[in-house]
Structure 1
Amino acid sequence: MTSSSVPTPEALTEIWERQWPECPPFAHWLRSYYSDRWVRFHSLPESKRYPDNEAEYATVLDRHYTVLSELDPGPALLVITSEWTETPATAPQMWPRRSEVAPNAQHWRTLLEQPDEDPEYHSYTQLYVEIRPWRRGVLDLLLRTVADDELANVILAPADLRWLYHPYDGGADVILPTRAQRDALKDCHRAWLSKHPNGL
């Protein structure tokens, strides 16, 4: 994959299943399946959930970019965003904000999170993917939208998916290749960790 080419859906699925075979790409599942390699950082001091002013948005962005820079994605970053639909078809969508924030993303996969649920209540997750050249600032709108809880189930990753970064409204979950790498990153930013005993 070059810095501007999006992998085919088949190729991306193959990479995902090789790197993360235990868990489909539901961002909120990752910390449960890979708890031994997971760390959560909060995006504001004192674990404040939502930013109220531009200074706090700047702190949120700075923390995201600091960790992403240390993870070193290389020249390009995979950006996976999600939509939810009532049928397997990709339209109509429930969250049009996603297409505003990531207008160039291409459809990757359709997933059903709870297949045993009554079909009348099924909600399908539509995954989209795009490539963005990596640099500080390239994700400002997306990260602000996540911080405001207008977008969820976002996953950021390098081309080979060797690590996963899931920003959410309040912080980010990071899944590293090894426990040692997780511990090293955790040690770098202990002030950003939760005081919750389970790290949430």
Structure 2
Amino acid sequence: MSPLRGLTELWEDRWGECAPVAHLLRGPYRDVWVRFHSLPGSKRYPEDEREYGIALDRYNTVLDELFAGQDVYVIAPVWTDGPRVPHGGQGGGPGGVPGAVHWRSLPFTDDPDPEFHVHCHLFAARRPWRRGCVDGLLRDVADDRTADVMIADTGLRRVHHPYDGGADVFLASAGERDRMRERHAEWLSSHPAGL
């Protein structure tokens, strides 16, 4: 049986207002979204091991709160200019996720110029969550070497989208979002829109 069996149906049921591309979630799901910055003062990129330690600790603290004792899906895209599904990738697996298998491919052909048509090939792996189990991937995200990663529980009730500078977190309800926001208020942006 495929480790990704039923994943598409789960996505459509829970997050069906957008394609499973991490940066698109914030649009239709602002009511359950919160953004945390990964470094003090909203600094974007770590410059030394101390700052990587802070960023990884913030990522892992939220991930522990979301997924401790559960299995998770680690999902990462590989973007190409054609529909052919790529093999391999950086970090020991497609999309930088060791053990990942192809989940689905999405064409983005809205631009009238065919030169700008791209395909997003999503790769995913299911694994038990434990603190630090995706630190290599999180470092790549922090350094902007990979993007649009998602980590989600196997019911897709909660999604963690790390990006270079922080993490967008999508919770099961607005109340849950508010409680998490309060627990980590010092990691929030001062921007009025929470960016």
Structure 2 length-normalised TM: 0.93
Match of 1:27 among 22, 27, 31: 22
User: 1:7 aligned to 2:24?
Assistant: no
* Conserved? CA contact 1:108–1:127, under 8 Å: yes
Which position in structure 1 is the counterpart of 2:33? 38
Offset, 1:37:
0.8
Which position in structure 2 is the counterpart of 1:104? 99
Query: Separation in 2 of the partners of 1:91 and 1:140?
Result: 24
Match of 1:160 among 152, 155, 160: 155
* Conserved? CA contact 1:97–1:150, under 8 Å: no
Match of 1:174 among 169, 177, 180: 169
Match of 2:194 among 180, 185, 199: 199
User: Alignment RMSD, CA only?
Assistant: 1.8
Percent identity of paired positions between Structure 1 and Structure 2: 51
* Conserved? CA contact 2:38–2:55, under 8 Å: yes
- Name the amino acid aligned to 1:178: S
* Conserved? CA contact 2:32–2:177, under 8 Å: yes
Offset, 1:92:
7.5
Which position in structure 1 is the counterpart of 2:146? 151
Q: Which runs of 5+ in 1 are unaligned?
A: none
Which position in structure 1 is the counterpart of 2:49? 54
Offset, 1:116:
4.4
- Name the amino acid aligned to 2:4: P
Q: Taking structure 1 as reference, are residues 30 and 86 closer, same or farther at Cα in structure 2, changes over 3 Å only?
A: same
What SS class does the counterpart of residue 33 from structure 1 fall into? coil
Query: Separation in 1 of the partners of 2:108 and 2:68?
Result: 28
Query: Separation in 2 of the partners of 1:160 and 1:74?
Result: 14
Which position in structure 1 is the counterpart of 2:123? 128
* Conserved? CA contact 2:98–2:125, under 8 Å: no
* Conserved? CA contact 2:78–2:121, under 8 Å: yes
Structure 1 length-normalised TM: 0.90
| Larger deviation, residues 111-120 vs 34-43 | 111-120
* Conserved? CA contact 1:73–1:158, under 8 Å: no
* Conserved? CA contact 1:74–1:158, under 8 Å: no
What SS class does the counterpart of residue 167 from structure 1 fall into? strand
